[in-house]
């Protein structure tokens, strides 16, 4: 509930007490600290659908999902490493990423989407994109979707960081309420252009298994969605407000 409260405060215009700073001192990290930080950043900065499996468009029609979104990720295992890399003495245990998220539903069950994000009090900027192919489902049958995504971080001069992922999800609508769940795989690439303590290379490439579940509520065209995510064993919680039709 604390993580959800943090997200809701951010979306409604209130800031949390986090005191992160620009990532500019990766040269002060050991190889293990960089590995832990990369793993938590993979969990925090990889794509979060925050939407059911059902496609937005119909057989020939179009649909839209436009919303303000935020995700909060537990980064406690790398909080000390982030504090060192940011030159701060006040470690944070969660990383909250606010986003502007847009998805266009095309005919034949195809959705394309993108988001832009900027993490407050840091130099982290993030963009992401998705391509989803889904079945519509029916009265007695669920919708099923296959999604491919990518995210890319910018703004941190010392670090090149990106993720790619594939997931399979299922959802079933009940009036205005649509629960959903999915599983996927995330590929993370994290490479610093500086060396760490002792001159060690800071270069990590790895995969993380992803599980997620959520619920979508539609009130006419107004939309509210909540999602819980575990990527690489690290938990994230997301919320989205917007318009969906």
Domain definitions of the chain by residue range = 2-244
Question: Which tens digit of pLDDT belongs to each residue from 180-200?
Answer: 999 999 999 999 999 999 999
Query: CB of 190 within 8 A of CB of 124?
Result: no
Nearest to 55 by CA among 11, 4, 112: 112
List the chain residues with pLDDT less than 70.
Answer: 1-20, 58-60
- State the pTM of this model: 0.90
Alpha helix positions (H), the chain: 2-11, 31-45, 79-86
Please tell me the distance from the alpha carbon of residue 157 to that of residue 37, in angstroms, as a whole number: 16
CA distances from 149 to 17, 152, 161, 176 (A): 31, 11, 15, 27
- The distance of Cα 155 from the centroid of its chain, to the nearest Å, equals 17
Closest listed residue to residue 87, CA positions, set 139, 123, 54: 123
Q: What is the pLDDT of residue 202?
A: 97
Which residues are paired to 245 by β-bridges? none
Q: What is the pLDDT of residue 43?
A: 97
On whether the CB atoms of residues 140 and 58 are closer than 8 A, the answer is no
Which listed CATH number (1.20.120.160, 1.20.1630.10, 3.10.620.30, 2.40.160.20) goes with 2-244?
2.40.160.20
> In this structure, are residues 238 and 101 in contact, taking their beta carbons and an 8 Å threshold?
no
DSSP state of 67: E
Q: What is the pLDDT of residue 148?
A: 98
- State the pLDDT at residue 13: 43
Work out the number of other CB atoms within 10 angstroms of the CB of residue 5.
11
| Bridge partners of residue 190, in order along the sequence | 161, 204
Q: What is the DSSP string of 155-196?
A: S-TTEEEEEEEEEEEEE--BTTEEEEEEEEEEEEEEEESS--
The pLDDT tens digits of the residues spanning 70-115 come to 999 999 999 999 999 999 888 899 999 999 999 999 999 999 999 9
pLDDT of residue 4: 46
Distance CA 220, CA 95 (A): 32
| Per-residue confidence (pLDDT) for residue 16, from 0 to 100 | 42
Q: Residue 60: its pLDDT value, please? A: 65
């Amino acid at each position: 509930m604390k993580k959800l409260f943090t997200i809701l405060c951010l979306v409604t215009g209130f800031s949390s007490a986090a005191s992160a700073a620009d990532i500019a001192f990766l040269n002060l990290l050991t190889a293990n600290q960089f590995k832990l930080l990369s793993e938590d950043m993979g969990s925090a900065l990889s794509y979060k659908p925050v939407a059911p499996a059902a496609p937005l468009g119909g057989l020939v029609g179009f649909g839209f999902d436009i919303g303000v979104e935020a995700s909060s990720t537990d980064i406690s295992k790398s909080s000390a490493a982030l504090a060192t890399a940011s030159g701060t003495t006040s470690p944070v245990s969660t990383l909250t990423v606010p986003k502007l998220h847009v998805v266009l539903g095309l005919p034949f069950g195809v959705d394309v989407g993108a988001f832009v994000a900027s993490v407050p009090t840091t130099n982290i900027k993030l963009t992401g994109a998705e391509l989803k192919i889904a079945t519509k489902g029916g009265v007695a049958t669920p919708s099923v979707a296959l999604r491919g995504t990518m995210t890319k971080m910018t703004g941190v001069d010392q670090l090149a960081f990106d993720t790619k992922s594939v997931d399979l999800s299922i959802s079933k609508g009940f009036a205005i309420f649509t629960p959903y769940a999915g599983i996927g795989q995330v590929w993370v690439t994290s490479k610093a252009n500086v060396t760490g303590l002792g001159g060690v290379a800071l270069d990590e490439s790895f995969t993380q298994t992803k599980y997620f579940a959520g619920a979508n509520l539609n009130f006419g065209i107004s939309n509210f969605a909540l999602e819980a995510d575990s990527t690489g064993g690290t938990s994230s919680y997301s919320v989205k407000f917007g318009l969906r039709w």
